[in-house]
Chains A and B, each alone.
Chain A
Amino acid sequence: MKMENHSSSSQEALMLNHLKSILLKQDRQEIDSIKKTLYTKEGLEKEVSPLIEERIEYLKTNFSKEFGIHVDNVIEHKLEASKEQLLNVIYPVLGQMIRKFVSFQFQLLKDRIDQQVSSVFSTKGLIGQIKSKILGIRSSDLVLRDIDKPIIEEIYVIQRDSGLLVGSYSRQETMDKDMIAGMLTAIKSFAQDAFHVEKQELELINYGNFKILVQNFFSYYIAVAISGSLSSQEQDHLAVILLEFAEKDMKGVSLHLITSELTEEVSSKLEHHFKKDIFA
């Protein structure tokens, strides 16, 4: 039995070896062919390209679904981070007003990023989605939400073309209002020119806890800087009041020449209308 076992097992071993070498040969051939595919550029390209193509095609239409939120997050984080830096440097020096201008800057930045995003991923639907995400995300959702009710900090009547200040009312004394009016106008129209934004009746610039509502009229516009949060009803309410103001108080006012008398007149009308809490 022992012998038999031995001889049959040595036979088995032989068979096994034979089998092994056959198998290994096949394996080796396979490995060689895989190597050829893997290690030569042409081979790899042939195999992988269709897969990548397919994936690219898929991403072209589904990019926003797959990555939209990440893009949003990255952009939003970058904006938040640089805003913080910017504000830290300039805020102590420049006080309240600059915050409002910074909000413009960031609006421009957002628009620019928006444009970049759209030139990189030129798929219509995707742009729409990212755009709505970027523009739609309220900073108040990211920053601590301020439950303050809206307060009109400042209100300016500004001649549309020249940017000359026609009248103003502020709760607190701020920087030179003539210059603010000029800047605001420059920013507004430069942004319009640069980004080919349509002229709108009503513009709302939203940033952090600050909003600037701009109501355009024919030869002038009214800019209102508001702190606190502004609901859409309150925004409508404000728009109505601005229209009333324009209708009643600006009606007979000639803007042909901006004199200090005119500025005083319009300013006192503004004070009369906006000193009281219109959101009460």
Chain B
Amino acid sequence: MISTKVILTGSFGVGKTSLFNQFLFNKFSERYLTTIGVNVKKKIIKVEEEELSILLWDIAGEISQDKVPNSYFLGASGIIYVFDVTRPLTYKNLTSDIDYLKSKIPGVKVKVVGNKKDLITPQQLLELEEELSQPADIYSSAKTGENVEALFEILGRAILGKEA
């Protein structure tokens, strides 16, 4: 089994923490350590018989993304870039943000997630896809749980070099 650090990033309110909370509930990290600025949870996933231990980092509370300490990004193998399908502002810099992240952490695997899928119709989703400067890897809903598992699986695959 390999251990790996994965971080959540994206604009405020897109649902990073909600996705994070879809990870195993853990009082320990959830209730008392948010003031520190970051939360860490673990999830072990299985990709083709190989286990991957994901240590997922989420920025807690009010810290705005541009104030995130550098150390947050250091040593990450995977990045989950989350945007909100109902708010264009959260995906308008998609390509430049991702280029920036990739330059900051060479070799990092990035997955782009359009979250809050439950709030739009399939037709609206198609229109959104037209609008994006680059395609999203997956659309999820942290509310219903739809595609949350799948998100971690495609990221896990990428990290293990087992992309389909």
Contacts and interface: CB of A to CB of B under 8 A. Distances in A.
Interface of A: 90, 93-94, 97-98, 101, 104-105, 108, 159-165, 175-176, 178-179, 182-183, 185-187, 189-190, 192-194, 257-260, 263
A163 B69 CA distance: 14
Given A98-B28, A189-B71, 4 more contacts: A161-B71, A183-B40, A189-B74, A260-B2
A187 B4 CA distance: 18
Contacts of B77: 162
B95 interface: no
Contacts of A176: 42
B91 interface: no
A97 B27 CA distance: 13
B143 interface: no
Contacts, number: 93
- Mostly, the B contact residues are mixed
Interface stretch (B12-20, B29-37, B117-125, B134-142): B29-37
Interface in B1-54: 1-5, 26-29, 32-33, 35-38, 40-42, 53
- Mostly, the A contact residues are helix
B39 to A, nearest CB: 8
Contacts of B61: none
Given A179-B55, A186-B36, A163 B27 contact: no
A163 B42 contact: no
B69 A189 contact: yes
Interface residues of B, number: 29
Interface string B58-70: 0000000000011
A189 B29 CA distance: 17
Contact of B36 (A179, A190, A257): A190
Given A162-B75, A190-B69, A194-B69, A178 B55 contact: yes
A122 B4 CA distance: 45
